[in-house]
Amino acid sequence: MEKQNQLNYNRIAEAIEYIKENFKLQPNLDEVAKKVNLSPSHFQKIFTEWAGISPKKFLQFISVEHAKKILKEQRATLFDTAFDTGLSSTSRLHDLFVNIEGMTPAEYKNGGKNLRINYSFAESPFGSVIVASTLKGICCMAFEDNEETALKNLQERFPNAMFRRKLDLMQQNALFIFQNDWSKLSEIRLHLKGTDFQLKIWESLLKIPMGSLSTYGGLARKIGNPNASRAVGTAIGSNPVAYLIPCHRVIQSTGNYGGYMWGNTRKTAIIGWEGVKIHS
């Protein structure tokens, strides 16, 4: 089942990449299905199962023009209001969202010495994911198809910690986000290793509503340092918790989606998926 899920995701990812490159031509169902070597009917079926909407409709959400349209309509007003009010009125998700607790200076400096970290692997709509937790909260979530590579990256982040492969309740609650079960999000804490500036940026990311986008410059203005766009980008690129901390919702001021630690195609897929969910 997991292999089939991964195969389907790979096909959908390839289809999305094709649509991204050719969206101005508005490729039809037959053209995209042919590109991924599937019959139109089968492609329509697995795409709809994966995204909850047809390929044609999905195209509207993942185009760059959609991103520009959101930014134009918001004119930063929606984001500003949402940020200042804690987002309680802009999304059914964010009034439940997580809290961040930074690691102590000692934990930060010694690479997680004396920390006990549980980790497990799971499937998400965007491929395989590793999720790890300490007694205080989720310390890592990352998209990674290779389990050995995922564990190696986690161990490099906390070189002196003790690791155990175990799915605990904290991880389960975090993974519910992919099932639209957000009832447990108020119970989630993030236990993160980062500088004060990084923690501040990651907290700001949590306040971008689902289905909305911001820019690097917009976040810099929100923290009171409008000239810090580059530093903001660096902090976003260091985000250790995929999806829960939604760095995928930050794009370039031109409307281009820009880079993403876990792949540009995956970023496009997530933005489109969220757009579908919030508008469905």
Instruction: Tell me which residue of 4, 6, 33 sits closest to 18, measured CA to CA.
Output: 33
Instruction: State which H helix or E strand residue 206 sits in.
Output: none
Tokens for 132, please give them.
């790890």
Instruction: State which H helix or E strand residue 164 sits in.
Output: strand 162-165
SS3 124: strand
Sequence-ordered strand ranges (E) for the chain? 99-102, 116-124, 127-133, 138-143, 162-165, 189-192, 214-215, 250-251
**In the block, residue with structure tokens 């957000």:** 182
Residue 160 corresponds to which amino acid? N
Catalytic residue among 12, 208, 247, 269: 247
Question: What backbone phi and psi angles, to 5 degrees, belong to 228?
Answer: -100, 25
If you count DSSP H runs as helices and E runs as strands, how many of each does the chain have, helices first? Answer: 13, 8
Paired strand residues for 241:
141
How does DSSP classify residue 215? E
For the chain, the distance separating the N- and C-terminal CA atoms, rounded to the nearest angstrom, is 27
What number of other Cβ atoms are within 10 A of residue 17's Cβ?
A: 17
Does residue 247 carry a catalytic annotation? yes
Question: Where in the sequence numbering do the catalytic residues fall?
Answer: 247
